[in-house]
Amino acid sequence: MPFAGEALQVVAELAANAVFHGLVQGRDFRLALRLDPSGALRIEVTDARGDRLPCIPDLGTADAESGRGLLLVTAYVDRWGVDEAPAGGKTVWAEMSAPGRVDQ
């Protein structure tokens, strides 16, 4: 997988966010990776805190204390978003096309 390094960075950031922002005592997060036949990758991280949604910081605010990791995610992926998950949780997902391929 030629974009494995970038995918690893996205997984690390989304997993770290789940631990830091989505932790509920006694509940873990779930990671799912799906590779389709074209080589496109979908990364999903589900945590228990649907009330804490990710957001990208205002780039004009140099002293923002969080959110910069999502700037990295945005730079590496074609698209990302958030879906509701069971039991009040959320799933943050990101999709990366195979190198050299641009989805329409």
Q: How many angstroms separate the CA atoms of 53 and 28, rounded?
A: 17
- Which pLDDT does position 65 carry in this prediction? 66
Residue 9's DSSP bridge partners are: none
DSSP 39: S
Q: Is 48 exposed, middle or buried (0-12, 13-18, 19+ CB in 10 A)?
A: buried
Per-residue pLDDT of the chain (104 residues; tens, 9 = 90+): 557 899 999 999 999 999 988 888 888 899 999 998 988 999 999 999 999 988 876 665 656 666 678 888 999 999 999 999 998 999 999 999 987 655 54
CATH number assigned to the domain with residue range 4-96, chosen from the 4 options 2.40.128.110, 3.40.50.300, 3.40.50.720, 3.30.565.10: 3.30.565.10
Domain extent listing, the chain: 4-96
